[in-house]
Amino acid sequence: MTDMSVLDQVEQSLRIPVLEGLQAQGDLIVIPVPGPIDPPGARWVRVPPEGVELLRGGAGGNTHMLVAEPGTCRWTPHRADWQDLGVFTASAEVYLLHPEHGALGCAPGTYVVRRQREHERGGSRLVAD
């Protein structure tokens, strides 16, 4: 997915709804928050042209990728909740890509990216699909 060309992305963006609200992609959910937020101690990185790997599947494959036009999105792996992966703030639309789930488009704003959990005896565990 990291080698996805700009044209591929443009082609996808024509079909992907860009939304402001809550959206889920498999075992991840994107939660809009009244932003911008700047948690203390958070280390922000600019999302590079090849994107940011948010989460790899079970043992390496099926990665959830965050992609944005250069200079329009920053990401921090800050976790306010144990299920969180981090937070991104975008000034233009950004996309979450995954090889087996449809892409999500997020309108400019701030979002928390969170993982899904499952119940098991004595507690919860994170889902890896």
Q: What are phi and psi of 61, to 5 degrees?
A: -95, -170
As measured in angstroms, the least distance from the Cβ of 51 to other proteins is 14
Of 1, 13, 69, 101, which one interacts with other proteins (CB under 8 A)? 101
Dihedral sign computed on CA atoms, order 49, 28, 109, 93: positive
Which residues inside 9-38 make contact with other proteins, applying CB under 8 A?
A: 17, 19, 21-26, 29, 31
By CB under 8 A, the count of residues binding other proteins is 34
From the list 75, 66, 83, 90, the residue with the least C-alpha distance to 42 is 75
Among 1, 12, 103, 108, binds other proteins (CB under 8 A): 103
**13, containing H or E segment:** helix 6-13
Interface positions, 39-98, toward other proteins (CB under 8 A): 58-62, 81, 83, 98
How would you classify residue 8: left for phi > 0, otherwise alpha for psi between -120 and 50, otherwise beta?
alpha
Please give the residue ranges that form the binding site for other proteins (CB under 8 A): 3, 17, 19, 21-26, 29, 31, 58-62, 81, 83, 98, 100-104, 114, 116-121, 125, 127, 129
